[in-house]
């Protein structure tokens, strides 16, 4: 696209972008959503110019994207979701789905990593935003990720196993029945945990005593806590 055309294109509003036509160039037109208009109109006065500005930058960087509402906030899709905007009582946010993978040479995104839900931290004024050039660079990087089908790495869930603590009174009661005590010592950690948690989580002393008596009986017979539901 020739420079004069680029300059004119970059100065257009959302509505002007929709009707912008050039006979010699194929430019995908933005697809505004009336729900986004309504969302911005209902936002606080301080938030409206911020949301409008970010919305316009998204469309300028990715004219072929589609607007929608997801989880109650404006979202932009291009081969899948890639960014969103939102307004709160005292601040706005602008977030990318794949913030961790976006090219960020100046460390702007990483600096705001833990400050707010969005990728650019808490935005209370347009002056809080990086330059349009930087934001458009982020948007184009997000688009590139979707173009290439790049996905966020799956998070490894660290499961910390709580150490099983068997109360002294539990062991003391089991020892009254030699067979029950011997069998309990041979049980797997999971079977031990099932009995201990069942007994200790009783809400009254009476219930706890009944469960303890049942535990001694079943353990003496070599039965697991849920033996009734186990396949034979």
pLDDT at 9: 44
All structural domains of the chain with their residue ranges? 28-147, 168-224
- List per-residue pLDDT tens for the chain, 232 residues long: 334 434 444 455 555 554 444 444 444 555 678 999 999 999 999 999 999 999 999 999 998 899 999 989 999 999 999 999 999 999 999 999 888 888 888 888 876 665 556 788 889 999 999 999 999 999 999 999 999 988 877 766 666 667 888 999 999 999 999 999 999 999 998 889 999 999 998 889 999 999 999 999 999 999 888 877 765 5
Q: Which two tokens stand for residue 199?
A: 């007994």
pLDDT at 174: 93
Measured at the CA of 134, the angle between CA 149 and CA 56, to 5 degrees, comes to 80
CA distance 66 to 4: 26
Measured at the CA of 167, the angle between CA 162 and CA 171, to 5 degrees, comes to 120
The answer to whether the beta carbons of residues 215 and 195 sit under 8 Å apart is yes
Whole-model pTM above 0.85? no
Topology of the domain comprising 28-147: 3.90.1150
């Amino acid at each position: 696209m020739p420079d004069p055309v680029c300059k004119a294109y970059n100065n257009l509003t959302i509505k002007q972008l929709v009707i912008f036509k050039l006979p010699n160039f194929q430019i995908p037109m933005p697809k505004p959503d009336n729900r986004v208009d309504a969302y911005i109109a209902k936002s606080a006065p301080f938030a409206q110019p911020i949301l409008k500005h970010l919305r316009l930058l998204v469309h300028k960087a990715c004219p072929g994207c589609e607007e929608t509402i997801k989880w109650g906030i404006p979202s932009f899709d291009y081969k899948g979701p890639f960014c969103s905007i939102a307004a709160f009582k005292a601040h706005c946010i602008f977030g990318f789905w794949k913030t961790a993978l976006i090219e960020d040479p100046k460390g702007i995104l990483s600096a705001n990593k833990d400050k707010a839900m969005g990728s650019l931290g808490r935005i209370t004024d347009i002056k809080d935003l990086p330059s349009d050039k930087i934001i458009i660079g982020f948007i184009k990087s997000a688009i590139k990720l979707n173009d290439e089908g790049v996905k966020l790495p799956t998070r490894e869930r660290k499961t910390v196993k709580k150490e099983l603590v068997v109360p002294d009174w539990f062991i003391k009661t089991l020892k009254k029945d030699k067979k029950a005590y011997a069998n309990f010592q041979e049980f797997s950690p999971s079977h031990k945990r099932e009995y201990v948690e069942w007994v200790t989580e009783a809400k009254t002393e009476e219930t706890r005593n009944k469960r303890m008596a049942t535990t001694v009986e079943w353990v003496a017979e070599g039965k697991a806590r849920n033996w009734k539901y186990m396949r034979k």
